[in-house]
């Protein structure tokens, strides 16, 4: 696994723990008992993080353009 992929995966795990209010152990248990749900959750969180970064970039671009008027 590439370092950037590993970092993103760890970030998604931390996000799941934070947003869902679950422990690391509960996340591990989910991975072991219902792997499909775990994968779907992680995928959703990774996609959400990418979308948030995209929106942040667009917002910064809009602010720069407004400031240059």
Q: How far apart are CA 36 and CA 50, in angstroms?
A: 21
- Tens of pLDDT along the chain (69 residues) come to 566 777 777 777 787 778 778 888 888 888 899 989 888 888 888 888 889 999 999 999 999 999 998
Q: How far apart are CA 39 and CA 21, in angstroms?
A: 18
**15 contacts 9 by C-beta, under 8 angstroms:** no
Q: How far apart are CA 66 and CA 69, in angstroms?
A: 5
Domain around 18? 3-67
**27 contacts 53 by C-beta, under 8 angstroms:** no
**68 contacts 60 by C-beta, under 8 angstroms:** no
Provide the domain count of the chain: 1
């Amino acid at each position: 696994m590439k370092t950037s992929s590993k970092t993103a995966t760890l970030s998604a795990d931390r996000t799941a723990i934070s947003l869902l209010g679950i422990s690391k152990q509960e996340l591990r248990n989910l991975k072991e008992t219902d792997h499909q749900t775990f994968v779907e959750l992680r995928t959703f969180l990774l996609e959400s993080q990418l979308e948030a970064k995209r929106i942040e970039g667009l917002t910064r671009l809009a602010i720069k353009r407004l400031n240059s008027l």
